[in-house]
């Protein structure tokens, strides 16, 4: 099974109360790809500048991502900078320097257009729509977005929402998108916009799946230490899509594979905050993964 992801491939500067790390590997497509753990063929579409280190592309490739769809062009790579509050939950975005990302026109190689699974990571909704149009009918399309697009490009976002199967958003974004306070009402309103399934991420409080025949609430794994939560949402998406690809689920499947995918997303995402950048994800091995899956299941049964 193959998964195509289009998103940012970036350098992030992250400040926490303990430490600041400058220009480390980040971007939604980077976290997503590594989180798929080489279990499916992951095809990355993105753009980087001439400052982007080859070793970072090599790292993605060494983790099973096909990076031949990441174009290198003259200019600076996308750079995001944020500072976490003491609680390691709230963060302030200090800078978003688009660089070469400003003129990004995703090009999908001919041989990738038949990819079975499509993840439209958080980029301009028109670019997401452009990518979806180039594909020849994926089994399943999932979409991520953010407050920026909800505020600045609501019409474009509505158009693409009408064409995808799954939306992943955080609770604040779900409320902002729909104007509904209740998450159940927000999910209902989102489903009326197009996606048949909605995942509402609630950070340290876990995530909700509003499926076609059921609702599932999955807690987040309780971590001893949070170093840098940047990318946890994209890591969740990577684990979620890996799970669906491995089970061969499509949009007409019942909720069963989606419920399992919620657990895989949660377990995968739990490794991300344990290190800066993608370091936490790089530490995942089979035994550690299984141990956390057992912990999670243990948290969910009476
Ligand atoms: P998350 O913590 O899951 O929200 O993801 C954070 C990642 O998203 C960082 O690695 C950033 O480089 C990337 N990011 C932040 N803002 C944007 C944006 N406007 N467009 C695309 N990617 C972004």
Predicted pLDDT of residue 216: 98
Ligand 1 close to Cβ of residue 11 (< 6 A): no
Match domain 2-165+230-300 to its CATH number in 3.40.50.720, 3.30.70.360, 3.30.559.10, 3.40.1190.20. 3.40.1190.20
Closest-CA residue, ligand 1 atom 11, reads: 27
Ligand 1 close to Cβ of residue 173 (< 6 A): no
Domain boundaries, the chain: 2-165+230-300
Ligand 1 close to Cβ of residue 27 (< 6 A): yes
Residue by residue, pLDDT tens for the chain (302 residues) are: 999 999 999 999 999 999 999 999 999 999 999 999 999 899 999 999 999 999 999 999 999 999 999 999 999 999 999 999 999 999 999 999 999 999 999 999 999 999 999 999 999 999 999 999 999 999 999 999 999 999 999 999 999 999 999 999 999 999 999 999 999 999 999 999 999 999 999 999 999 999 999 999 999 999 999 999 999 999 999 999 999 999 999 999 999 999 999 999 999 999 999 999 999 999 999 999 999 999 999 999 88
Predicted pLDDT of residue 87: 93
Q: What's the 79 CA to ligand 1 centre distance in angstroms?
A: 9
Q: How far is CA 174 from CA 151, 168, 262, in A?
A: 12, 9, 18
Predicted pLDDT of residue 40: 87
Q: What's the 48 CA to ligand 1 centre distance in angstroms?
A: 14
Closest CA to 35 of 67, 10, 64: 64
Sheet of strand 140-144, all strands in order from the earlier edge strand to the far edge? 65-72, 41-48, 2-6, 117-120, 140-144, 166-170, 197-201, 207-210, 215-218
Q: What's the 173 CA to ligand 1 centre distance in angstroms?
A: 14
Ligand 1 close to Cβ of residue 26 (< 6 A): yes
84 burial via Cβ count (<10 Å: 0-12, 13-18, 19+):
buried
Q: Which residues fall within 8 angstroms of residue 39, CB to CB, at 6 or more apart?
A: 64, 242, 245, 246
Return the structure tokens found at 66. Answer: 């096909």
Predicted pLDDT of residue 238: 98
Question: pTM of the full predicted structure?
Answer: 0.97
Return the structure tokens found at 217. Answer: 């609430």
Ligand 1 close to Cβ of residue 8 (< 6 A): yes
Q: How far is CA 142 from CA 5, 70, 121, 196, in A?
A: 10, 20, 8, 10
Return the structure tokens found at 32. Answer: 């997503």
Taking the C-alpha atoms of residue 221 and residue 245, their distance in angstroms, rounded to an integer, is 23
Ligand 1 close to Cβ of residue 233 (< 6 A): yes
Ligand 1 close to Cβ of residue 145 (< 6 A): no
Ligand 1 close to Cβ of residue 122 (< 6 A): yes
What number of H helices and E strands is found in the chain? 11, 13
Phi, psi of 13 (to 5 degrees): -110, 120
Closest-CA residue, ligand 1 atom 20, reads: 123
């Amino acid at each position: 099974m193959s998964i195509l992801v289009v998103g940012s491939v970036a350098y992030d500067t992250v400040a926490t109360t303990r430490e600041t790390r400058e220009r480390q590997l980040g971007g939604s497509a980077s976290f997503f790809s590594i989180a798929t753990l080489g279990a499916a063929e992951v095809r990355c579409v993105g753009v980087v500048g001439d400052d982007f280190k080859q070793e970072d592309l090599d790292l993605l490739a060494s983790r099973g991502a096909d990076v031949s769809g990441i174009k290198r062009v003259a200019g600076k790579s996308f750079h995001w900078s944020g500072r976490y509050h003491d609680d390691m939950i709230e963060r302030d975005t200090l800078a978003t320097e688009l660089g070469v990302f400003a003129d990004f026109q995703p090009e999908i190689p001919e041989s990738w257009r038949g990819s079975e699974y499509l993840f439209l990571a958080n980029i301009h909704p028109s670019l997401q729509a452009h990518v979806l149009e180039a594909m020849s009918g994926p089994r399943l399309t999932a979409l991520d977005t953010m407050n920026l697009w909800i505020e600045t490009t609501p019409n474009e976002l509505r158009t693409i929402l009408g064409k995808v199967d799954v939306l992943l958003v955080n609770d604040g974004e779900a409320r902002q998108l729909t104007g509904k306070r209740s998450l159940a009402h927000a999910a209902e309103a989102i489903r009326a916009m197009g996606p048949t399934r909605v995942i509402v991420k609630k950070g340290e409080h876990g995530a909700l799946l509003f499926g076609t025949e059921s609702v599932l609430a999955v807690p987040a794994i309780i971590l001893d230490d949070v170093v840098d939560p940047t990318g946890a949402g994209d890591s969740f998406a990577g684990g979620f899509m890996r799970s669906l690809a491995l089970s061969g689920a499509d949009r007409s499947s019942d909720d069963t594979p989606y419920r399992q995918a919620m657990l895989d997303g949660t377990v995968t995402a739990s490794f991300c905050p344990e290190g800066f950048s993608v370091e936490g994800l790089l530490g995942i091995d089979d035994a550690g993964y299984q141990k956390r899956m057992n912990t999670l299941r243990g948290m969910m049964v009476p």
